């Protein structure tokens, strides 16, 4: 491509022997030559046809796709790769081709799982170039088009092909991986086989310490769902000659050195030693690699063999074969006794031969004959011919190469069997890791085959590139029919054509025994004398040169014939197939006779040609993708870029060939916007006002007079050299404009100097006049000053005297007033103290008098009642002595007395139990209850004494009656008198019966009074307990969580065994009514069966009623009940009903599970944010209620089920139900008011309640997460549009200051803000707690920060100045929304955008080159890490003013710090999707809650079973 319009002052590229290309400025043009001042200070003269224009406006960090280069030529490509490599940007696109430059250092942040997630399903070119992007495109094409794909990884030794292949397979496993054998994925199995293949197929070369000496094609097979289902490894052209021949300073295959470094017992077992002792290894002086331990690698290879399924027995056999090859190499021959015969040279050779036979388990004599003799079979006889020493050595080497080749093929088959292939797979992605083009000082048959492979792949590559060009032209609808295709078919015909190709001639030469390399070379000279790609060297008779696509390569044909022969010597085949070792015999299976007769000759060239054809067929059946690996230097160290070496690799890799194909068409392509933005200066009238981009581009090109360009649908296509011509016109335009600006600036500067001189003259005159005026003013000022000083001095002296007198007066007044105040205060204190003492003394006297008076009253009452009782007793005794005992009356009286006695004893036992419980519990009451207890004790004692007196009187009367002796009737007078006495006695008995009934009635009244007092005392006890709970609430709260966890663990272990028992007991306890507690004991003992039946029927009716109420409640909450005074009605209903029905306190209930199921069914519609926010409000409110009221104690286990009535304090509270008069409990009410609502008092929760609480907590987290994910899904598409400014047809003239432009540019940001507002409205409508809203927006803003910031780091087009201004304006919109929204809901969410805000702030600041590293890292971007700062500063480009990023010194300092730190963390941010709160934190940040005064739904309000929910009237 010849440059055009090279003018004086143009920046160009010129060839240089040291750095390939160097830039400079044209100083002078003499005809066809130009004098150039290079950047290194030299002056060179070059032809205009050999220099290329330089794009001075290219971004500082290069471009990620080299098709975007203004000048697509070799120096531009090289400079772009060098610039990006300096910034650790190792990947660059050339269309769909990825160029990967080996960094020679670990960059783990580029290959972690987070980076894989970013490139998943991302379009090619949207993110920065990466190997994951190529793998993703191949995978998506395979899934969408149902066609197999292939990825061709090529490059010279050391360019990183193997590592790139590993990254590709890792990413493909990330997309479609599944568990394989023994828990290992297919990708893992393939990677685990690498150590084995590297040990037996890799070796040290001049350019690489671990060079693959074979080609590898990995087929990763996928099923219909896109999951990896199998894999296979195909190998090509193992370098067999390396087994016997090694050049210094290279090494043989790694496995030989690994075996020599094995443990001592292994070395003794195989009779090995140092590598220099073996002929196959000591041909080179390199035995060890720097930084590599062969002993450790041996163990690692052994472990890898275990992993891929090679048994211990097979491993021993493998290394036995390897050791046998080493021993074979030490067998030397000398001339035998006969002519042209050979024999073993010495005892050392015999020892190695014997060791080899032992290791191969074959006959020693047969092995020696196979090396020294040949068997010729003729129709008449079998002839044994001896070999001379040289032929015997060749036979030995042939045997060693054959054994090693068969061993390598066996390993590959074993690995494929271990991995497993999917026969039903219809799609695959093949990863080809193959050697690159090679050209050394000495090039043999291996280099010929390698370069033949690369020629074949280059033809495939050229066809693909040309196809891509055609697709691009067709897409843009431009004419491309006259573009010529660069093809290398003539080289391939030279190599492979039949007949007459190099491979065909080589096979013919190998078939003739007398052919030599000289005759083969002469045959080539004669055949290809006139071929333009074949060159005969002038100084050699056996070499030949082929002009490949990458350059000319001279081959030495000395060993072509030997290396091409591939058939196995029959003696070797028979010997090893008869080995006693099954492994060795398996490497050489018997060859069928038909095969032996039909294929007498086989060549490596023909076999390789066949394999290559099969490979090309596979590649042609797939959609190809290309990765070109480049080695930046030969010292294998980071941060070194050797331009000459890289240019050679680009040529060998076909990149320059692809550039030539592009240059044959339209190498320069610009979108309409970019073209107008760059060249609108050439025709400014075209872009005035409203215009169409395509028409504007055509007008600019027509005005410049260019021909041959094409206008597509979205791009302008320019021929080679036209971009340079446009740039030259543009530079001329800019130069003229600069001259006009300079002229104006110089005029302005001169005028400014004149005006400054004029101002200086005026100022000088002003100063002189001012000096004269100052002197006059000074004299006047001194005179006035003297007068002022005198006046002020006199005033000061007078003022000082006055202040002294005033100060003394103030001190005297202060002292006197303070003395009077102290006396008055002392008198008040004494008066107050006397008043207090008097009040206390009077109180004490009154209280003492009251106690004495009360005690005296009780004593008087007791004595008076005793006196009355004794009087009645004496009367009864007197009446009893006078009357006789009548049996019938006595019996009836006895029965009555016994019944009364039984009742008194029963009452006595009750009173005794009651007194015992009172005495124990009253000690625990507060001092305020002591007076009440004393009154109760005195009343009970009085009742007991009265009962005792009555009982004693009855007993005495009965005893007297019994002791009466019958008196004989003396006469009728006595009988009549006695009859009268009996009548009197009957009357007395009747009166006694009346008195007994009166005493019984008084006893019942006393019992009723006692019951009333017990009720009042129980209420008092409840209030006391509430007070204690309020005081111990904090301590109980701390112990709740530990006890709850302990209870849940115990309950989970025992609930299966005790579920039925707990259910029965819980029902009997919770459903028992107070009416059954006070049934008469005597009636209960007589009618127990009837009472149980009645109680069971009542229990069943109650259960059925409760079930109906539960069903009704579930039907109500399944509907949206709405809110009442900002509180969710459903949550309040559920809580109040559960508390009323004591569902929290039972051991087993299914109603809580039904509530949970109802909630779960309601939130199944995850896309309805209204329903989700409604239930988030209800579940969170209900969770808060449970969090504040449920508690669990350590004793609340499975075995502890004693109710409150079974305790001593419970029995006492059941006996006393009232509050005594005079006891003031107002202090309890004052303590509880305003702190704990009675409805929210602590509830001792059982296992179902605790489980229900945990399920509610899980639902709160689930609903919160769904809303969070819905909001993220809604704003994710907008974020991708918010990070990059939209380009319109008038983008060049649009500014951010006008309102119309803001409406157009910020539509996506406004959509983002609108989404936030809509969600906030829905959340506030559902009265979701502000704490949850705050947490939601904090997390979402963090997600916005992560997405925008990561997109900024991964997309270079987002790091421009114009785009940064756009994002900054969008962030301002978001900040205004945060400001308008109250802090209660948004809070500090704006602070979560700190990364993107600081990054955008850095991009829009001016004078970046003047900023230091300390200013940027500590003042401008303190939050960003050094990696993030480095990436932003290197990706920045100014598309508006053309300014530069940070200075090269600052960038170099950051890179050095990154190298020193050796950080492996990713520069991308992670999105935290965890739940950012817990139930405790939610309860802490929520205001006071209540369940009272809510509006009930009609179904609940009209049902009598929910009467407890209705407000209670006064």
Exactly one of 74, 192, 438, 725 is catalytic; which is it? 438
Calpha distance 231→681 (Å, rounded)? 58
Residue 515: active-site member: no
CB 200 within 8 A of CB 240: no
CB 259 within 8 A of CB 319: yes
Q: What are phi and psi of 9, to 5 degrees?
A: 100, -5
Helix (H) or strand (E) holding 1041: helix 1033-1070
Calpha distance 1145→54 (Å, rounded)? 85
Helix (H) or strand (E) holding 1124: strand 1123-1124
Exactly one of 94, 149, 193, 212 is catalytic; which is it? 212
DSSP state of 1467: S
Calpha distance 1179→107 (Å, rounded)? 48
CB 573 within 8 A of CB 592: no
CB 1263 within 8 A of CB 1163: yes
Look at the block and give the residue holding tokens 């009451």: 925
Q: What are phi and psi of 56, to 5 degrees?
A: -75, -15
Residue 211: active-site member: yes
Residue 439: active-site member: no
For the beta carbon of residue 508, count every other beta carbon within 10 angstroms: 14
- Select from 1440, 1280, 1282, 1284 the least CA-distant residue to 1373: 1282
Q: In what order do the strands lie in the sheet with 11-16?
A: 43-47, 33-38, 20-30, 11-16, 52-53
Residue 162: active-site member: yes
**3-class SS at 373?**
strand
Exactly one of 76, 155, 158, 654 is catalytic; which is it? 158
Angle between helices 1426-1435 and 1448-1461 (to 10 degrees): 140
For residue 399, the number of C-alpha atoms closer than 13 Å in the C-beta half-sphere is 31
CB 157 within 8 A of CB 213: no
CB 730 within 8 A of CB 681: yes
Calpha distance 777→310 (Å, rounded)? 113
CB 168 within 8 A of CB 151: yes
Exactly one of 170, 208, 1020, 1433 is catalytic; which is it? 208
Q: What are phi and psi of 617, to 5 degrees?
A: -65, -40
Residue 901: active-site member: no
- Select from 23, 160, 126 the least CA-distant residue to 78: 23
Look at the block and give the residue holding tokens 């790139």: 164
Distance of CA 809 to the CA centre of its chain: 81
Calpha distance 1181→623 (Å, rounded)? 59
Contacts for 822-831 with beta carbons within 8 Å, 24 or more apart?
none
What are the beta bridge partners of residue 231? 220
Residue 208: active-site member: yes
Calpha distance 759→783 (Å, rounded)? 36
Exactly one of 92, 128, 150, 211 is catalytic; which is it? 211
Calpha distance 560→519 (Å, rounded)? 12
Q: What are phi and psi of 221, to 5 degrees?
A: -95, 145
Calpha distance 1254→1048 (Å, rounded)? 11
Calpha distance 1466→1382 (Å, rounded)? 36
Residue 430: active-site member: no
Exactly one of 94, 162, 193, 451 is catalytic; which is it? 162
For residue 874, the number of C-alpha atoms closer than 13 Å in the C-beta half-sphere is 5
CB 487 within 8 A of CB 462: yes
Calpha distance 449→242 (Å, rounded)? 15
- Select from 567, 556, 496 the least CA-distant residue to 520: 556
CB 743 within 8 A of CB 750: no
Exactly one of 329, 436, 605, 1218 is catalytic; which is it? 436
Active site residues: 157-158, 162, 208, 211-212, 436, 438
């Amino acid at each position: 491509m010849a440059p055009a319009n090279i003018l004086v002052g143009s920046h160009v590229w010129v060839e240089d022997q040291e750095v390939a290309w160097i830039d400079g400025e044209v100083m002078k043009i003499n005809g066809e030559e130009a004098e150039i001042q290079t950047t290194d200070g030299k002056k060179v003269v070059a032809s205009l046809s050999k220099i290329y224009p330089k794009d001075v406006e290219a971004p500082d960090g290069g471009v990620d796709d080299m098709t975007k280069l203004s000048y697509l030529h070799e120096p531009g490509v090289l400079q772009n790769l060098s610039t990006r490599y300096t910034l650790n940007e190792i990947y660059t696109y050339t269309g769909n081709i990825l160029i990967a430059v080996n960094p020679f250092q670990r960059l783990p942040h580029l290959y972690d799982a987070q980076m894989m997630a970013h490139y998943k399903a991302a379009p090619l070119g949207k993110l920065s170039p990466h190997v994951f992007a190529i793998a993703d495109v191949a995978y998506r094409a395979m899934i969408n088009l149902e066609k197999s794909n292939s990825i061709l990884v090529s490059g010279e030794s050391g360019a990183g092909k193997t590592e790139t292949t590993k990254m590709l397979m890792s990413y493909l496993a990330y997309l479609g991986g599944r568990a394989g054998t023994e828990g290992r994925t297919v990708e893992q199995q393939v990677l685990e086989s690498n150590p084995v293949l590297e040990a037996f197929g890799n070796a040290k070369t001049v350019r690489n310490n671990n060079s693959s000496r074979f080609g590898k094609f990995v087929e990763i097979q996928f099923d219909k769902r896109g999951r990896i289902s199998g894999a296979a490894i195909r190998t090509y052209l193992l370098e067999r000659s390396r087994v016997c021949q090694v050049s210094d300073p290279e090494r043989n295959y790694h496995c030989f050195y690994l075996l020599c470094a094995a443990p001592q017992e292994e070395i003794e077992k195989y009779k090995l030693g140092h590598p220099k002792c073996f002929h196959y290894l000591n041909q080179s002086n390199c035995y060890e690699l720097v930084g590599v331990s062969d002993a450790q690698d041996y163990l690692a290879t052994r472990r890898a063999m275990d992993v891929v399924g090679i048994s211990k027995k097979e491993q021993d056999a493998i290394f036995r074969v390897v050791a046998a090859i080493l021993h074979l190499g030490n067998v030397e021959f000398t001339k035998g006794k006969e002519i042209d015969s050979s024999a073993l040279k010495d005892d050392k050779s015999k020892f190695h031969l014997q060791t080899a036979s032992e290791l191969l388990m074959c006959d020693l004599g047969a092995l020696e004959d196979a090396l020294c003799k040949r068997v010729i079979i003729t129709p008449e006889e079998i002839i044994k011919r001896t070999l001379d020493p040289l032929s015997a050595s060749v036979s030995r080497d042939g045997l060693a190469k054959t054994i090693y080749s068969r061993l390598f093929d066996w390993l590959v088959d074993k690995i494929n069997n271990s991995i497993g292939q999917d026969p039903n797979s219809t799609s695959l992605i093949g990863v080809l890791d193959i050697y690159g083009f090679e050209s050394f000082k000495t090039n043999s048959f291996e280099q010929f085959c390698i370069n033949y492979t690369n020629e074949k792949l280059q033809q495939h590559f050229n066809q693909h590139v040309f196809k891509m060009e055609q697709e691009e032209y067709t897409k843009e609808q431009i004419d491309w029919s006259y573009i010529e295709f660069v093809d290398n078919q003539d080289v391939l015909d030279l190599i492979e054509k039949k007949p007459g190709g190099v491979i065909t001639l080589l096979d013919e030469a190998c078939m003739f025994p007398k052919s030599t390399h000289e005759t083969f070379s002469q045959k080539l000279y004669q055949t290809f004398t006139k071929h333009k790609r074949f060159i005969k060297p002038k100084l050699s008779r056996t070499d030949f040169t082929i002009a490949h696509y990458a350059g000319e390569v001279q081959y030495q044909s000395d060993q072509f014939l030997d290396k091409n022969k591939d058939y196995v010597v029959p003696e070797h085949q028979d010997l090893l197939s008869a080995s006693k070792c099954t492994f060795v015999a398996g490497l050489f299976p018997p060859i069928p006779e038909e095969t032996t007769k039909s294929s007498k000759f086989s060549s490596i060239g023909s076999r390789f040609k066949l394999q290559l054809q099969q490979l090309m067929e596979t590649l042609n059946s797939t959609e190809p993708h290309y990765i070109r690996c480049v080695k930046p230097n030969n010292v294998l160290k980071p941060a070194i870029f050797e331009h000459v070496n890289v240019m050679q690799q680009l040529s060998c890799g076909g990149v320059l060939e692809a550039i030539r194909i592009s240059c044959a068409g339209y190498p320069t392509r610009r979108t309409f916007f970019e073209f107008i933005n760059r060249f609108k200066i050439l025709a400014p009238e075209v872009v005035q006002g409203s215009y169409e981009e395509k028409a504007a581009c055509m007008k600019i090109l027509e005005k410049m007079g260019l021909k041959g360009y094409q206008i597509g649908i979205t791009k302008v296509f320019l021929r080679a050299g036209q971009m340079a011509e446009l740039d030259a016109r543009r530079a001329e335009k800019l130069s003229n404009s600069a001259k006009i600006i300079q002229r104006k600036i110089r005029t302005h500067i001169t005028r400014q100097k004149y005006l400054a001189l004029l101002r200086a003259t005026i100022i000088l005159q002003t100063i002189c006049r001012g000096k004269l005026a100052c002197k006059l003013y000074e004299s006047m000022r001194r005179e006035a000053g003297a007068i002022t000083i005198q006046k002020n001095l006199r005033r000061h002296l007078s003022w000082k005297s006055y202040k002294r007198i005033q100060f003394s007066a103030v001190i005297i007044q202060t002292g006197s007033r303070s003395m009077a105040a102290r006396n008055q205060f002392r008198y008040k204190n004494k008066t107050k103290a006397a008043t207090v003492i008097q009040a206390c003394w009077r109180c004490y006297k009154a209280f003492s008098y009251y106690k004495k008076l009360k005690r005296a009253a009780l004593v008087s009452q007791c004595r008076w009642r005793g006196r009355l009782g004794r009087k009645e007793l004496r009367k009864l005794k007197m009446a009893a002595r006078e009357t006789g005992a009548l049996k019938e009356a006595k019996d009836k009286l006895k029965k009555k007395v016994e019944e009364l006695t039984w009742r008194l004893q029963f009452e006595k036992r009750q009173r005794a139990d009651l007194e015992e419980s009172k005495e124990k519990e009253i000690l625990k009451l507060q001092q305020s209850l002591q007076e009440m207890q004393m009154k109760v004790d005195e009343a009970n004692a009085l009742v007991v004494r009265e009962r005792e007196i009555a009982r004693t009187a009855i007993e005495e009367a009965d005893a007297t009656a019994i002791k009466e002796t019958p008196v004989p009737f003396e006469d009728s007078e006595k009988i009549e008198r006695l009859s009268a006495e009996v009548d009197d006695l009957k009357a007395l008995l009747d009166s006694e019966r009346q008195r007994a009934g009166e005493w019984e009635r008084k006893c019942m009244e006393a019992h009723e009074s006692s019951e009333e007092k017990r009720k009042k005392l129980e209420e008092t006890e409840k209030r006391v307990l509430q007070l204690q709970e309020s005081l111990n609430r904090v301590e109980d709260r701390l112990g709740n969580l530990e006890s709850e966890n302990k209870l849940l663990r115990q309950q989970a272990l025992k609930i299966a065994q005790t579920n039925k028992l707990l259910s029965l007991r819980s029902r009997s306890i919770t459903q028992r009514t107070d009416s059954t507690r006070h049934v008469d004991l005597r009636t209960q003992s007589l009618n127990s069966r009837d009472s149980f039946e009645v109680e069971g029927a009542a229990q069943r009716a109650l259960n059925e009623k409760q079930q109906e109420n539960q069903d009704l409640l579930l039907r109500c909450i399944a509907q949206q009940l709405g809110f009442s005074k900002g509180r969710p009605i459903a949550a309040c209903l559920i809580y109040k009903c559960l508390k009323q029905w004591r569902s929290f306190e039972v051991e087993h209930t299914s109603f809580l599970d039904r509530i949970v199921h109802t909630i779960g069914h309601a939130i199944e519609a995850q896309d309805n944010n209204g329903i989700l926010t409604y239930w988030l409000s209800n579940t969170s409110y209900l969770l808060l209620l449970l969090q504040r009221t449920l508690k669990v104690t350590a004793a609340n286990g499975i075995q502890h089920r004693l109710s409150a009535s079974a305790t001593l304090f419970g029995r006492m509270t059941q006996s006393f139900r009232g509050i005594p008069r005079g006891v003031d409990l107002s202090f309890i009410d004052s303590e509880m008011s305003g702190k704990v609502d009675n409805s929210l008092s602590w509830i001792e929760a059982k296992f179902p309640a605790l489980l229900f609480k945990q399920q509610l907590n899980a639902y709160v987290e689930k609903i919160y997460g769904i809303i969070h994910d819905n909001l993220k899904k809604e704003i994710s598409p907008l974020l991708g549009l918010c990070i990059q400014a939209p380009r319109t047809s008038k983008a060049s003239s649009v500014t951010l200051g006008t309102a119309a432009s803001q409406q157009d540019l910020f539509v996506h940001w406004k959509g983002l803000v609108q989404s936030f507002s809509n969600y906030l409205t829905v959340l506030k409508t559902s009265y979701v707690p502000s704490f949850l809203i705050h947490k939601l927006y904090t997390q979402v803003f963090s997600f916005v920060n992560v997405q925008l910031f990561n997109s900024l780091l991964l997309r270079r087009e987002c790091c421009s100045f114009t785009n940064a201004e756009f994002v900054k304006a969008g962030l301002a919109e978001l900040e205004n929304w945060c400001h308008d929204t109250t802090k209660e809901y948004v809070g500090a969410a704006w602070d979560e955008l700190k990364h993107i805000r600081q990054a955008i702030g850095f991009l829009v600041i001016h004078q970046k080159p003047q900023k230091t590293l300390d200013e940027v890292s500590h003042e401008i971007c303190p939050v960003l890490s050094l990696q993030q700062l480095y990436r932003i500063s290197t990706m920045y480009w100014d598309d508006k003013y053309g300014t530069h990023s940070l200075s090269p010194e600052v960038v170099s300092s950051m890179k050095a710090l990154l190298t020193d730190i050796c950080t492996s963390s990713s520069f991308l941010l992670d999105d935290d999707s965890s739940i950012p709160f817990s139930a405790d934190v939610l309860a802490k940040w929520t205001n006071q809650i209540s369940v009272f005064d809510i509006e009930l739904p009609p179904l609940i309000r009209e049902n009598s079973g929910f009467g407890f929910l209705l407000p209670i009237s006064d």
